[in-house]
Amino acid sequence: SALCRRATAAGIPLIDGAHETLLAFRHLFDYHKFKRNGSQAPSAASLDVKQVSTWKQRLIDHQADSLSEVESLYLLCDFSVPVVRHDTVSNEAELLTAAGSIGYPLVIKTAEPGINHKSDSNGVFIDIRTEADLLAHYNDLSSRLGSKALISQMINDGVEISLGTVNDPQFGPVVMVAAGGILVELLSDRAVAMCPVSPQQAEEMIDSLKAKRLLQGYRGKAAANRQALIDVIVAISVIAFEFRDCVAEIDINPVRVNDRGALALDALIVRRKSGKPC
């Protein structure tokens, strides 16, 4: 109509239709909420400056496309993300010493360079409860894939949550929270937010998941430590934001959350191949 044309010419935005109007208001409210929560998000200044500088240089110097699982766990640990007790070994003597320090039951994985998807290479054995079984599995890995191995504590209780970040070309780093383990592939149950997130945003992400019911305790199982999971989500989002020029992806699947806390059991950090220098 003539009125619409006059309004458009005057720079007055018009929305055609009730659905479109309500959708626009929803996006306006979501944007207001994002701006409010963004002001509460933790700053990358909370990270240790020396550690940040050290890891950025290591990422620059690193030749492979991704850090090894061991290196990825070390990076997370250096920035206050709780990780499972673990050690790397290259022979039977080191293996038994590490096992004695960590304690059974154990998980053993190949730690040879270039093998990121260890299960595809039959490179993972779990719930190892005796020295004899540990040696047998290590010798099998060593003969097929090489002598370097990672052993870690087996955590059986709690809920598996998948955490990840990607460096989106348009929006920058975003963090994803989902049901972990095999559920991440079976359920379309995930929440995504731009990094860094505030504790309130992390809690809202958890509450949006169907898997939140598992965290509340069920069939006599203890409720999981939600605050510990919130802390990990926030920490991962800050890491992704601070290393946005160096890191393309962070994949932690799973984080095991129980009544005692939250631990990253597995991690992979993929380097960013192009962009600004760190």
Tell me what pLDDT residue 20 has: 72
Q: Which long-range contacts (CB under 8 A, 24 or more apart) does 187-193 make?
A: 187/211, 193/237
Tell me what pLDDT residue 28 has: 65
Q: How confident is the model at residue 9 (pLDDT cuts 50, 70, 90)?
A: confident
The CA distance from 214 to 134, in Å, is 32
Tell me what pLDDT residue 272 has: 92
Architecture of domain 85-154: 2-Layer Sandwich (3.30)
Peptide bond into 173 cis (omega under 30): no
Tell me what pLDDT residue 154 has: 97
The CA distance from 88 to 151, in Å, is 6
- What mean pLDDT is reported for the chain? 89
Residue 180 or residue 141, greater confidence: 141
Tell me what pLDDT residue 12 has: 84
Tell me what pLDDT residue 23 has: 65
Segment 159-208, tens digit of pLDDT: 999 999 999 988 899 999 998 866 656 667 899 999 999 999 999 999 99
The CATH homologous superfamily for domain 159-271 is ATP-grasp fold, B domain (3.30.470.20)
Tell me what pLDDT residue 196 has: 95
Beta bridge partners of 163: 177, 252
Give the predicted TM-score (pTM) of the model. 0.83
Q: How confident is the model at residue 107 (pLDDT cuts 50, 70, 90)?
A: very high
**Which is nearest to 258 in space by CA: 232, 238, 240?**
232
- Annotated domain spans of the chain: 85-154, 159-271
DSSP one-letter string for 77-136: HHTT--B--EEEESSHHHHHHHHHHH-SSEEEEE--TT---GGGGT-EEEEE-SHHHHHH
Tell me what pLDDT residue 29 has: 60
Tell me what pLDDT residue 277 has: 60
Spatial contact of 163 and 209, defined as CB atoms under 8 Å apart? no
